Amino acid sequence: PASDPNLVERARAAKAALGERVFILGHHYQRDEVIEFADVTGDSFKLARDAAARPEAEYIVFCGVHFMAESADILTGDAQQVVLPDLAAGCSMADMATAEQVAECWDVLTDAGIADVTVPVSYMNSSADIKAFTGRHGGTICTSSNAKRALEWAFEQGEKVLFLPDQHLGRNTAVRDMGLSLEDCVVYNPHKPNGGLTAEQLRDAKMILWRGHCSVHGRFTLDSVNDVRERIPGVTVLVHPECRHEVVAAADMVGSTEYIIKALDAAEPGSTWAIGTELNLVRRLAKAHPDKEIVFLDRAVCFCSTMNRIDLPHLVWALESLVEGRVPNVITVDPETEKHAKAALDRMLALP
């Protein structure tokens, strides 16, 4: 679609017609054809912070996925409307924890006598309902760029952490950054009675990890790392912390999308890199650094299919609708959910 000069022209014209009334945010995993029109690009933390940066803009067009648009709605004033160009742009990880399942889990922790010493820490990649649960129970939100600080804070507030919904980010941060062992972590499976855990296992654990994962990062394996090291001797393997623990343990460097971008900016010309994150970003980085060899960690292609749903036709449709006075695909969070979710998001934004 990006090669269709008509669509590019139409996007430009609609954006120009809207001027300061629209603010377009683009996550790093978005297609190039969409990123081209973003006023600000970033990882989920940067976009959550930047969402409120233009209070004069009536519309925030969020080129990302549903939970990000919800967070933008929570963090911006009532006068601003958040538009998601395709409502089908969800996140399979966020869908792995529903409000009912998490309420049931809290009952299980209560029955085991540990709810009052457990602090929920929820990854940004979760629904507004889960963020509200987190806020109600005195917890914080985190992203992949501040998970360590969030866990440090949480362990100052209580003895245990319930980490939702990405078991990999939770485990990787606990073991790499907090000095906990794999044995300190248990996995709560919402599809099993009592999460598949005994009260004793829950009482012994320091980290209770929700059984969720990212379908994109979860595809990288130890074989992917070994294979690329064989193909490219001397390669530096840099992966996102949503990858499995064995992948992260075998990698040379680990960090959020924003960290990956900065690491490659600082890399020596002539250096070689294998990157374990979403493919739109890896391809864009390879293009931006022709003096470095940057390859995708796996041989198979691995886009995030829901991020990819936002394409130029959807963006053009959203912008032209706004020009015509219709506000399409508005994402709104109800006031009660918003109040508690905002408390959890504000705790994250206040982390040192």
> Interface with ligand SF4 includes 92 (CB under 6 A)?
yes
Residue 215 interacting with ligand SF4 (CB under 6 A)? yes
* Residues from 271 through 300 that contact ligand 13P (CB under 6 A): none
How is residue 166 annotated by DSSP? B
- Alpha carbon distance 184, 87 (integer Å): 39
Which of 237, 307, 316, 341 touches ligand SF4 (CB under 6 A)? 307
Q: Say if residues 160 and 197 touch (Cβ distance below 8 Å).
A: no
Q: Say how many Å lie between the first and final Cα of the chain, rounded.
A: 43
91 is in an annotated binding site: yes
Print the binding letters for residues 232-261 with ligand 13P: x by CB under 6 A, - otherwise: ----------x-------------xx----
| Residue 304 binds to ligand SF4 (criterion: CB under 6 A) | yes
Task: Give residue for tokens 């992948």.
Answer: 247
Which of 242/338 has CB closer to ligand 13P? Answer: 242
Binding status of residue 166 toward ligand 13P by CB under 6 A: no
Residues within window 28-57 making contact with ligand SF4, judged by CB under 6 A: 29
Extended beta strands in the chain, E state: 22-27, 40-42, 59-63, 81-83, 118-123, 140-142, 160-164, 185-188, 207-210, 236-239, 253-254, 272-276, 293-296
Q: Which residues contact 29 (CB under 8 A, 6 or more apart)?
A: 64, 257, 278, 280, 281, 304, 307
Question: Shortest approach of ligand SF4 to residue 28 CB, angstroms?
Answer: 10
Partner from ligand 13P, ligand SF4, none contacting 70, C-beta within 5 to 8 A by type: none
Tokens found for residue 268: 């020596």
Query: According to CB under 6 A, which one of 25, 34, 43, 294 is a site residue for ligand 13P?
Result: 43
Q: Binder to ligand SF4 among 48, 65, 197, 239 (CB under 6 A)?
A: 65
Query: 307 a known binding residue?
Result: no
- The amino acid at residue 231 is R
Query: Is residue 216 at the binding interface for ligand SF4, with CB under 6 A as the rule?
Result: yes
Q: Which is nearer to ligand 13P, 118 or 277 (CB)?
A: 277
Annotated binding-site residue? 243: no
Q: Which residue has the tokens 């198979």?
A: 300
What is the chain's percent helix, strand, coil content, to nearest 5?
50, 15, 35
Q: CA–CA separation, 281 vs 211, rounded Å?
A: 26
Q: Say whether 85 counts as a known binding-site residue.
A: no
Using CB atoms, what's the residue nearest to ligand 13P? 43
| Residue placing its CB nearer to ligand SF4 in the complex, 35 or 343 | 35
Q: Is the four-CA dihedral 338, 344, 345, 349 of positive or negative sign?
A: positive
Number of helices followed by number of strands (H, E) in the chain: 15, 13
Phi, psi at residue 140, to the nearest 5°? -130, 160
User: What's the min distance (Å) between Cβ of 67 and ligand 13P?
Assistant: 8
Kindly state the number of chain residues that form the binding site for ligand SF4, as judged by CB under 6 A. Answer: 13
Q: How far apart are CA 38 and CA 62, in angstroms?
A: 9
Q: Exactly one of 80, 81, 122, 125 binds ligand SF4 (CB under 6 A); which one? A: 125
Is 257 within any annotated ligand binding site? yes
241 is annotated as contributing to ligand binding: yes
**Which lies closer to ligand 13P via its Cβ, residue 118 or residue 125?**
125
| DSSP class per residue in 278-290 | -HHHHHHHHHH-T
> What tokens appear for 211 in the block?
């059984």
Is 44 near ligand 13P (CB under 6 A)?
yes
Residue 214 makes contact with ligand 13P by CB under 6 A: yes
Work out what residue 92 binds among ligand SF4, ligand 13P, none; the CB cut-off runs from 5 to 8 Å by kind. Answer: ligand SF4
Interface residue list for ligand 13P (CB under 6 A): 43-45, 125, 143-145, 214, 242, 256-257
Interface residue list for ligand SF4 (CB under 6 A): 29, 65, 91-93, 125, 214-216, 278, 304, 306-307
Extract the annotated binding site for iminosuccinate: 27, 44, 123-125, 144, 240-242, 257
